[in-house]
Structure 1
Amino acid sequence: MFVDRYDELEILNNEYSKEGLSFSVLYGRRRVGKTSLLKEYVKDKPAIYFLSTMENASILREKLQFIIADFFEDNLMKTLIFKDFVGIFEYIASKEIVKKLVVIIDEFQYLGKEDSSVPSQFQYIVDETIKSKNIHLVLCGSIISMMCEQTLSYSSPLYGRRTSSIKLEPIEFCHLNEFFPTHSQEQLLELYSIFYGVPKYLEMIEPKKNIFENIKDNILSPSSYLYNEPQFILQHEVNEPVTYFSILEIIANGEHKIGNIASRLGKNANGIMPYLSKLIELDIIYKEVPITEENPVKSKKGLYFIKDNFFRFWFRYVLPFKSQLEIGNSEYVLHKIKQNFNAFVGQSYEKLAVSYVAQYFNTLKCGRYWNKNIEIDIVGITDSSLIVGECKYSNKKVGIDVFDNLKQKAKTIESQLPIKCCILFSKSGFTDELLKMQGENLVLIELLSKRI
C-alpha cells in the first residue's frame, strides 16, 4: 500500500526530469517505507536496484556487478574483476543511456562501514565517472548516524554533491484511515499512540482485533516481530546502548528534567548531555521549552520527551517487564497497560491537538506552556493574540470547570498579548452547559474532528 509519500515522490520525479546527472540521498529510520517509496518511483523507469548487506566489500561488489550485468544482458561482464566501485560505474558510464537510468544503492551505510574508502569512491564517481551521464543515483540508508556521516556531514567526501535529500518521516496521523478505513477516530488514535506512523508496523495490525489483542500479538510475545525492535535499531546506531536504554526508560516513565534524569543514572547533567544530543540527532527524543520562550536554544526550562510513539510504549511497558514477558505472563503486562491506557494515549492526543491548532488557527507558533505552578496543553501565538487550549482524553465529558480552570491558568502566561479564545479538546464530548457557551471565545472539538 502506497500512502502519504506523494511529496517525496514528486521530489524524486523532479530529479528524474532533469537532464544529466541527479544525485539524491534518502534516509530515515528502519521500517519507515523507504524501499516502498523507491519501488513506486522506479515502477515505470529503467532502474538498477542493489541492496547492500553486512558482508565483505569484494562480495558486495561482485553482487552489484552481477545485477548490472543482468540489467545490460552482458554475461561477459560477470567474468571481469573490479577492484572498487569506480570501475563498476565506469562500466555503466560506457553504455549508451538514452532514457534516464536510475541506480539505487539501498542500505548504503553498510558499504562505508565495511570499506571506509567508499564515500571517497562515490565522490569520484559523482564528480568524474558519471558527471555527464543521464543517470539518477540514489543512495538510501536506514542507520541515520552512518548515513549522515557518510553522505551529508561536512566531513564527508560527498558533502555538497547531492542535488536533493529526503529524510523520510513516519506517516502522519491524518493518513492512518487509508490503512484502516473502517476504524473510528478513537481506534486510529490508539493505534497511532503505540504503532506510530511506521508502515511496516501498521501492516501487522489485524483490523478485526482490538488494540490490546494487537499489542499482545505483535509486541508482548517474545516471538513477535516487534518484541525487540528498539533494541535492534539502537544497537546499530549507538555505542554504550545500556546507558541509552536507561535514559529512554526513565523518560518513558515520566521523568523529563535533565537534572532528575541524570540523578537517576548517578551522573551529573553534563555527563548525560552527549547521550541526549545523540538521541535528538537520531530523532528518537526531542527537547521542548515553553512556547513563549524568546530564545529556546538558551532556555534552561527544557524538558525531554520521546518523539517516537513506539519507543515510548516499548520503554514504558516492554523493557521494564521483560522478566514477566519471557515466562509468558503477558496478561500481567496487559493489565498494567490497561490501568494507565487513557493517560498514555492522551500524551499523543495532546501533541496532535497542538498540530491541529497550528494548522487550522493560523498561529505563528504553537506548543505547550508551563511555569513553576501551572501547565497548559496548548498555547498558539498569533501576531496579535494568544490561543489557549486544553486536552482531555478520558471517558468523562468535559464541563465548565475545565473551561474556568483554563482561563485562570491563562492569566499566568508571561506574555503581553491578549487571549483571543480558548479551545477544548475532548475524547468523550462536552456537557450540555458547556455546549451552550461555545462561540467566538470558546471552541469545542471532539477528538480531532472539525468544530462541533
Structure 2
Amino acid sequence: MAEFVGRRRELETLKRELGKVAADVGGERPGRCVMLRGRRRVGKSRLVERFAEKSGVPFLFYAATGGSPEAELERLSRDAQASSLPLATLLSSARPKTWDAAFDVLAAALPPDRASIVVLDEVPYLMDADGAFEGMLQRAWDRVLETKPVLLILIGSDLSMMESLNSYGRPFHQRGREMVLGPLNPAEVGEMLGLEPSAAFDAALITGGLPLICAEWTPGAGIWDFLRTELEDPVSALLVSAERSLAAEFPQSVQARSVLSAIGSGERTFSNIARAAGGIAATPMQRSLEILADKRVIAAELPVTLHPSKDRRYRVADPYLRFWLKFLGPAMAEIERGRGDLTMNRIRESWTSWRGRAIEPLVREALARLLPDTQLPAAPAIGSYWTRTNDVEIDIVGADRAPIAKQLLFVGSVKWLENSPFDRHDLAALLRHRAALTSEPVPVVAVSRSGIDCSGLDGAFGPADLLAAWTF
C-alpha cells in the first residue's frame, strides 16, 4: 500500500520483536514492549495496525480518545470484543472499573502457548499528572504481562510525554524499546509520487512527507496541478491536517497558536515574533516559545560560530506546517468560498523566495547524512550563521560542535532557483561572508538546484546528490 512506502525498516523492527516473543514462548518472561512515537498523521496507527493484521497472531488494538477513565475502560471492553484474542470475551464481559483490574483481565485473556500482540494507541491521553496510569502499567507489566508471550506496543503523538514515559525515575523506565516514526523523507516522497529529484524536494516541502497528504497526490503530477486540485476541495488532507493537529496539540494554548502563526508568517526573532503576535509581553512570550519547542513544533537555533552569540532565531520545524501557516491557514475563508485561485496566485508569487529558505534545513540534513566524501570531512554539527543585522548570512556552516565551535570545517551557500545556476558572483559573496566569520580558508560548498557555473569550489551538490542521502 502507498502509505507504507519507506516503512520497511520499521516493519522489520516490529517483526524482529515479535519473533523474539515467539521464540521465547514457554520462557519465564517472554513478553516484550515497544514504545512508538511520532508526530500526528505520520501513519503510526496504520503502520502498527497493518503489521498486526499481517502478523498471523491474535491481537487487540485499543485507541484512547481522551475521555474519562470510565469511558476509556468501556472502550477497551468494546475493542476487546472486536479483537482476535481467543479469550477476549473475558475482558468484554468483566468490564473492569480500573486499569489495574483491566490489565489483570487482559493478561488472563492472552494465549499462554503462542505469541500475541496488544496495542495501546494514544497512550498520552491515559497519562495523568501524578503518574498513576504509568504506575499501574508498570506493576501490570512486571507482575503479569511480561510473563505472557505478548508484544505490547505503546503508541503516542505527544513526543515529550512519550519520551518521559521511558525516562529515568518514571515507573516504566527501561521496560520497552523506543521507536520513532518520522514522516516520509524526500527520497520516499519521490518514490511514492514518481517524481524526479528537484520535484521530489518540492513535494516534500509542501506535504511534509505526511502519507495522508501524499496519498492525494496523483503520481507524476506537478506541484501546481496538485495544489489546484487540493485548493478546490475545502476538506482535502492538505488543508485540514494542520488545523486538526494543532487543535489536538494546543486545545487551550491560544497564545501559543498566535506565536506559532507569527513564526509561520516568516518572523524569526523574539521581538518581531512578539510584535506580530499582538504585542505579547516577554514572560508569556517565552512561555509560549517553550510550549512550542517542547512539542517539537518549532526549532530555536543559534548561529554556528567561533564566539558566543545570543541572536537566537526561530522557525517552524515541520515543512508542511510551515507551508500551511504561510499560505493556507490565513486563506481558509476564501478557499471555503470557492476562491482557491486567489490563494494559488499568492503561492505562485512567493513560492521561489519561500522555497529558497524552506529548503535549507533539508539541505543541511542531507549533508549530515552524505559526508564525509572525497572532498569534505564529516561534520558533527551542520548549521548556519548570521549577524544581528543580517548583513552577513551563511546558509551552511559545518563545524566540530555547535553553537560555539572550536573548528570550522566548511561553509556553503544554497541557491535553489529554477533556471539560475550558482555562479562566480555567488561564490564571491560566499567568500566575503566567510571572511566575516573566520580568517581561515575553510572549504567552500555550493548547493544548487540548477547546476554550477564557476570554479573554485571544494564541493558541489545538486538535487540528485542530496536525494541520495536518504537512499543508503
- Could you tell me the TM-score, scaled by structure 2's length? 0.83
State the distance in 2 between where 1:188 and 1:237 align: 28
| 1:428 lines up with 2:450 in the alignment | yes
RMSD, aligned CA: 2.9
Pick from 241, 253, 263: which aligns with 2:265?
Answer: 253
| 1:23 lines up with 2:33 in the alignment | yes
| 1:378 lines up with 2:392 in the alignment | no
| 1:60 lines up with 2:75 in the alignment | yes
| 1:93 lines up with 2:126 in the alignment | no
- Percent identical pairs in the alignment equals 24
1:442 aligned residue: 458
Pairwise CA distance, 1:171: 1.9
State the distance in 1 between where 2:88 and 2:317 align: 48
Pick from 40, 51, 55: which aligns with 1:44?
Answer: 55
Pairwise CA distance, 1:184: 1.6
2:45 aligned residue: 35
**Counterparts in 2 of 1:75 and 1:446: CA distance versus 1, 3 Å:** closer
Secondary structure of 1:380's counterpart equals strand
| 1:398 lines up with 2:422 in the alignment | yes
**Counterparts in 2 of 1:285 and 1:425: CA distance versus 1, 3 Å:** same
* Amino acid of the structure 2 residue aligned with 1:392: K
* Amino acid of the structure 1 residue aligned with 2:78: K
Per-residue Cα deviation, 1:37-79 (whole angstroms, up to 9, x for no partner)? 31454322423222333551342132134245x5215657644
2:385 aligned residue: 369
Task: List alignment gaps of at least 5 residues for structure 1.
Answer: none
1:419 aligned residue: 441
| 1:302 lines up with 2:335 in the alignment | no
Q: How does 1:205-244 map to 2 (within 5 A)?
A: 205-219=217-231, 221-244=233-256
2:403 aligned residue: none
Contact 1:356/1:448 (<8 A) preserved: no
Contact 2:193/2:218 (<8 A) preserved: no
Secondary structure of 2:42's counterpart equals coil
Pick from 69, 74, 83: which aligns with 2:97?
Answer: 83
Per-residue Cα deviation, 1:312-340 (whole angstroms, up to 9, x for no partner)? 11111122223322322111111110011
Pairwise CA distance, 1:257: 0.6
Pick from 148, 152, 165: which aligns with 1:133?
Answer: 148
Secondary structure of 1:256's counterpart equals coil
* Amino acid of the structure 2 residue aligned with 1:129: V
1:274 aligned residue: 287
Contact 2:422/2:448 (<8 A) preserved: yes
State the distance in 1 between where 2:366 and 2:294 align: 26
**Counterparts in 2 of 1:419 and 1:53: CA distance versus 1, 3 Å:** same
State the distance in 2 between where 1:234 and 1:127 align: 36
**Counterparts in 2 of 1:220 and 1:403: CA distance versus 1, 3 Å:** farther
Contact 1:219/1:225 (<8 A) preserved: no
2:470 aligned residue: none
Secondary structure of 1:204's counterpart equals coil
State the distance in 1 between where 2:229 and 2:341 align: 12
Contact 2:91/2:102 (<8 A) preserved: no
Per-residue Cα deviation, 1:406-444 (whole angstroms, up to 9, x for no partner)? 111101114x7x33422112222233xx1xx25xx4333
**Counterparts in 2 of 1:133 and 1:327: CA distance versus 1, 3 Å:** same
| 1:72 lines up with 2:86 in the alignment | yes
Per-residue Cα deviation, 1:170-228 (whole angstroms, up to 9, x for no partner)? 122222222023x1212111111110111111111122532123223335642323323
Which moves more between the two structures, 10-19 or 59-68?
10-19
**Counterparts in 2 of 1:242 and 1:90: CA distance versus 1, 3 Å:** closer
2:134 aligned residue: 119
* Amino acid of the structure 1 residue aligned with 2:77: E
Contact 2:60/2:79 (<8 A) preserved: no
Q: How does 1:119-198 map to 2 (within 5 A)?
A: 119-144=134-159, 147=162, 151-152=165-166, 157-158=171-172, 160-181=173-194, 183-198=195-210
Which moves more between the two structures, 338-347 or 207-216?
207-216
Pairwise CA distance, 1:21: 2.2
* Amino acid of the structure 1 residue aligned with 2:305: T
Secondary structure of 2:452's counterpart equals coil
Pairwise CA distance, 1:117: 4.9
Contact 2:415/2:448 (<8 A) preserved: yes
State the distance in 1 between where 2:168 and 2:222 align: 48
Secondary structure of 2:152's counterpart equals strand
Secondary structure of 1:131's counterpart equals helix
Which moves more between the two structures, 271-280 or 86-95?
86-95
* Amino acid of the structure 1 residue aligned with 2:37: Y
Pairwise CA distance, 1:27: 1.8
- Could you tell me the TM-score, scaled by structure 1's length? 0.86
Per-residue Cα deviation, 1:120-165 (whole angstroms, up to 9, x for no partner)? 432221122223222221111224455456x34668543x153212
* Amino acid of the structure 2 residue aligned with 1:99: R
State the distance in 2 between where 1:102 and 1:243 align: 41
State the distance in 2 between where 1:333 and 1:96 align: 56
**Counterparts in 2 of 1:74 and 1:9: CA distance versus 1, 3 Å:** closer
1:338 aligned residue: 348
Task: List alignment gaps of at least 5 residues for structure 2.
Answer: 25-29, 373-377, 401-405, 468-472
Contact 2:166/2:174 (<8 A) preserved: no
Pairwise CA distance, 1:116: 8.3
